[in-house]
Amino acid sequence: MRTNYSEISVLAHQYPVAITVNGRKDTVLLSHTDFLEQQRAINELQERFAIYAQLAQSQDDIKLGRIQLLHSAVESICNDLDNLDL
């Protein structure tokens, strides 16, 4: 890698480069920009998954009757806040 770094770097900026050891893929090199884009995409998917999980929980709550009128919920929250020891 030391002797061919420039060539490998150029390739890695075009597409991921797989390095093999004894014919088996061992390591994959990719540009820093591609790595950051991949990490951003992973984080976005994790955030979406968290939202979908919350929506699924909400649907389960509705199906199981675990609901409360908005007025009652706000009143309950306000009462809890009034009773906090600050």
- For 42-69, the pLDDT digits (tens) are 999 999 999 999 999 999 999 999 999 9
Domain tally, the chain: 1
Domain of 40? 34-82
Q: What percent of the chain has pLDDT over 70?
A: 99
SS3 state at 25: strand
SS3 state at 27: strand
Give the number of other CB atoms < 10 A from CB of residue 69. 8
The model carries a pTM of: 0.65
For residue 49, being part of any structural domain is answered with yes
For residue 42, being part of any structural domain is answered with yes
For residue 8, being part of any structural domain is answered with no
Contact 37, 54 (CB under 8 A): no
